[in-house]
Structure 1
Amino acid sequence: MAQKPRIPKGTRDFSPEQVAKRNYIFSTIKSNFERFGFQPIETPSFELSETLLGKYGEEGDRLIFKILNSGDKVKKADLQALESGNLARFSNSLSEKALRYDLTVPFARYVVQHQNDIDFPFKRYQIQPVWRADRPQKGRFQEFYQCDADVVGSKSLWQEVEFIQLYDAVFTDLKLNGVTIKINNRKILSGIAEVIGASDKLIDFTVALDKLDKIGEEKVKEEMLNKGIPQEGIDKLQPLFSLTGTFESQIQTLKSILSTSEDGLKGIEELEFIDKAISSLQLQTANLQLDVTLARGLNYYTGAIFEVSAPEGVQMGSIGGGGRYDDLTGIFGLKDVSGVGISFGLDRIYLVLEELNLFPETVSNNIDVLFINFGEAEGLYSLKAIKELRANNVAAELYPDAAKMKKQMNYANKRQVPFVVMVGEQEMNDNIYKLKNMNSGEQFNLSLDELIDKF
């Protein structure tokens, strides 16, 4: 007996209805990207391993899907590393390419490689799949799409202001009101690390802090201790774990905590600029909130960092995130090119819209009208009308077989087709088409011009 076919964990098949709903999200995001002046690019699905490794921190590197070498390149395998138990070095020797982990590092590579053809500041958007060897769970997959927008070549904080407005515009168009755009600044985190005597462990500190909403305060403190951050320093963090209030009141508390840190005060100054601008411009439906425990575990952020959470009452991880990176292109040899970008989590946004029943009913309608097939002559007569309807941007289709009427009407119902056209010998003699509204049951005898006008 043949084994039942299946797909790998962390991947999915998508039905026509699901694809239609995903395309609705894609088109909403894309139209806003373009309204804000971003241009599309695409990069390969896999990169050289050297392009990706070392850019996401130790945890990120472990989640990169590597592509095994083939042919004679297999001979390069480091068997000595295997024998000595150094599995990381052994696996690296078997692979020279890897599936992209995100769209930001490939974008940095693109900018450096094509720097002579790019006009700076360069605003790009990219909507493509990425892959991560993560443990699959609700809203987290091993293959998923990212929808990114970035600006490189400008240090202006107006870019951060624009990205907050972009988030607000997209979620307003999706009718997803009440999302929270959390913001922090990596300089503030550096300042906190400095104040608690953990500057040399900034990465360990931020990776642990970023898990606060997932594992809780005590587990975060425990992880910091295990990473060598002193108890005395962790005790100084206590005010941060319970820091609440308005944006402005939190800023005042931070000014007191970070009064001795030049880096920390610079981060506060940047946040104040962004908050003042947004308060003046006002958001449509989103909320801007300062969250000093927001760290986002990626090493390349240097300034503002963003994370978007779903409306209150929806149990879902972040549905967007991003931040400022002052020298990401420096890893590829192009120094002093500052950038900032954000990403939309398509799959999680889909799940939130589904849970809140926010997809428009029209999204899943794949055709406007189905022509019932009564035979060869009737089919040809119908196809002449279908050709004209399609030329007028009406999605029309002929049922391929001259099957029983009941079967064809059941097909129309299952596909939720709003109209069917029935053409028999009498209709052909009268040069008309019998149109039936599948919701109301009403029927109309129409000429071809009238049929086109009806749609």
Structure 2
Amino acid sequence: MSKPSLPQGTRDFGPEVVRKRQYIFNTIRNVFELYGFQPLETPAMENLETLMGKYGEEGDKLIFRILNNGLPKKPEEARTNFEKVLEGKNVEGITERALKYDLTIPFARYVAMNQGQLTFPFKRYQIQPVWRADKPQRGRYREFYQCDADVVGSKSLLNEVELVNIYNEVFNQLGLTGYELRINSRKILAALAEFCGGMEKMVDITIAIDKLDKIGIDKVKEELAQRGLNEAQIATIEKYLSIDGSNEEKLQQIAALLGHLETGKKGIEELEYVNSQAGIGNLIIDFTLARGLNYYTGIIFEAKAPATVKMGSIGGGGRYDDLTGLFGVPDIPGVGISFGVDRIYDVLEELKLFPEGVYTGTQVLFFNLGPAESSAAFTAMQSLRKQGIRCELYHEQAKMDKQFKYAEKKNIGFIVIIGSQEIQNNTGVVKNLKTGVQETVALANLSNKLFI
């Protein structure tokens, strides 16, 4: 009999981890709600045609396809079809659905299907798992949660300014004051492509630039050459990637390089507006930021963990002015951001930023000293539960030492002991396990003495 195991890139979450994750989810959810976003959920799987071709050539390779029931009975035919599927080809009758790769494309599909019932601008947030056939490593999993906020039906840059402030609010509440929020505009990248031979170069340039942090400038130049760019074009891109200084200095340098092009001029205006209106110190204009997803058209975002932690991106997003056009519903602009919850968790863990209260499940343990005593304890416990105090009664009569150890292992702060004498007096012995202070309290006043 084989040992039980998990699929690679997936995880179980025990109670302590779930509590910490819920702390992150709740922090993000509360900020989303504060800014007027509404909750939405979409299915785990989508039709394959909904997802394919939306994430660029790199992303499409990472989509988890779902095999249909009723596969071909002939082994040779089945083997051939499986090989085609593994090569990324679509085979009729083998796979027509896939696990969702992100929350943005399913959201666009939802808007396209429900546009007649929605009030625009439609502001939604979504907190659900997604799946990617990626190589598992620290901070990267095959199943993970995303937390997204999107606004559709508005071209106003006020939305970008609000999303910047949502990032700032969430990270400050989580204690990640040293984070960086980097922004760029795909219009700037489009202008660069135009300057380097035409818009058909856009995808080649952005895919290569998106790898700068991982492979370095020399490898990026090699990749650009392999993708057909000449020396002069590569030199222009290298000059573009070398722009540095304050946000204002960067904007001056990019204006000198690309400001003569109409697309570049618009991109610069967008960045100037968001930079001046956002009002946060962690905002950095970064022209090396590309985010290699085909659907972005305007401002793009990437949130980075504090430099003391080697983690990289903990969030990202951008504007996609015609995402629903992919589903036959044109002219619905949108902009959105996503939080990388799993990476944020690892960062908070490493920096020890989870508040102490996050670990607390049961707040009070009632000892079980026998049938009559446990009955009295149960009545008192139910009274505390009605007041919102989390309690449990030890499951059986046992030695005091065993019950004390149970409370300590579960990090329970208080114990209440009701013995025969306490039943007669309608009292209980309350002990604070952190301070060691112990006192006898009337059961009617129990909640006032727990200091919870």
Corresponding residue for residue 353 of structure 1: 348
Query: Are 1:321 and 2:316 counterparts?
Result: yes
**Paired amino acid for 1:172:** N
Shift of 1:199: 2.6
Write the distance in 2 (CA, Å) between the matches of 1:375 and 1:186: 71
Shift of 1:80: 10
SS in 2 for 1:216: helix
Q: Comparing 113-122 with 91-100, which one deviates more in the overlay?
A: 91-100
- From 406, 429, 432, the counterpart of 1:434: 429
Corresponding residue for residue 339 of structure 2: 344
Corresponding residue for residue 59 of structure 1: 58
Corresponding residue for residue 13 of structure 2: 14
| Preserved CA contact (<8 Å) 2:300 2:318 | yes
| Preserved CA contact (<8 Å) 2:63 2:101 | yes
CA 70–84 in structure 1, closer or farther in 2 if over 3 Å, else same: closer
**Paired amino acid for 1:11:** T
| Preserved CA contact (<8 Å) 1:78 1:89 | no
Write the distance in 1 (CA, Å) between the matches of 2:160 and 2:440: 58
* 1:366-377 mapped onto 2 (5 Å cutoff): 366-377=361-372
Stretches of structure 2 that go unaligned for 5 or more consecutive residues are none
Corresponding residue for residue 131 of structure 1: 131
Shift of 1:231: 2.1
Corresponding residue for residue 166 of structure 1: 166
Write the distance in 2 (CA, Å) between the matches of 1:291 and 1:275: 12
Write the distance in 1 (CA, Å) between the matches of 2:84 and 2:412: 61
SS in 2 for 1:114: helix
Shift of 1:220: 1.0
* 1:245-256 mapped onto 2 (5 Å cutoff): 245-256=245-256
Corresponding residue for residue 31 of structure 1: 30
CA 376–169 in structure 1, closer or farther in 2 if over 3 Å, else same: same
| Preserved CA contact (<8 Å) 2:123 2:149 | yes
Query: Are 1:107 and 2:102 counterparts?
Result: no
- From 297, 300, 306, the counterpart of 2:292: 297
* 1:33-112 mapped onto 2 (5 Å cutoff): 33-71=32-70, 82=81, 87-89=87-89, 93-112=93-112
Shift of 1:221: 1.0
Write the distance in 2 (CA, Å) between the matches of 1:407 and 1:270: 65
Write the distance in 1 (CA, Å) between the matches of 2:84 and 2:36: 51
Query: Are 1:396 and 2:391 counterparts?
Result: yes
SS in 2 for 1:176: coil
Stretches of structure 1 that go unaligned for 5 or more consecutive residues are none
Shift of 1:198: 4.9
Report the identity percentage: 53
Cα-Cα RMSD: 1.8
Size of the alignment, in residue pairs?
Answer: 448
Corresponding residue for residue 440 of structure 2: 445
Query: Are 1:365 and 2:360 counterparts?
Result: yes
TM-score (norm. length: structure 2): 0.96
Corresponding residue for residue 411 of structure 1: 406
Spell out, residue by residue over 1:284-305, the C-alpha distance to the aligned partner (whole angstroms, 9 max, x if none): xx50001001000110000000
TM-score (norm. length: structure 1): 0.95
CA 201–438 in structure 1, closer or farther in 2 if over 3 Å, else same: same
Spell out, residue by residue over 1:144-169, the C-alpha distance to the aligned partner (whole angstroms, 9 max, x if none): 00000000000001100110011111
**Paired amino acid for 1:62:** K
**Paired amino acid for 1:159:** N
Write the distance in 1 (CA, Å) between the matches of 2:166 and 2:90: 44
CA 293–21 in structure 1, closer or farther in 2 if over 3 Å, else same: same
Spell out, residue by residue over 1:86-118, the C-alpha distance to the aligned partner (whole angstroms, 9 max, x if none): 843355651111100000000001001111110
Spell out, residue by residue over 1:186-223, the C-alpha distance to the aligned partner (whole angstroms, 9 max, x if none): 01001111112253121121011011111111111111
Spell out, residue by residue over 1:100-143, the C-alpha distance to the aligned partner (whole angstroms, 9 max, x if none): 00000000010011111100000000000000000011100000
Corresponding residue for residue 212 of structure 2: 212
Write the distance in 1 (CA, Å) between the matches of 2:6 and 2:91: 24
Write the distance in 2 (CA, Å) between the matches of 1:25 and 1:103: 18
Write the distance in 2 (CA, Å) between the matches of 1:74 and 1:153: 49
CA 96–84 in structure 1, closer or farther in 2 if over 3 Å, else same: closer
Write the distance in 2 (CA, Å) between the matches of 1:90 and 1:390: 55
Write the distance in 2 (CA, Å) between the matches of 1:299 and 1:9: 28
| Preserved CA contact (<8 Å) 1:198 1:233 | no
| Preserved CA contact (<8 Å) 2:259 2:268 | no
CA 306–147 in structure 1, closer or farther in 2 if over 3 Å, else same: same
| Preserved CA contact (<8 Å) 1:28 1:173 | yes
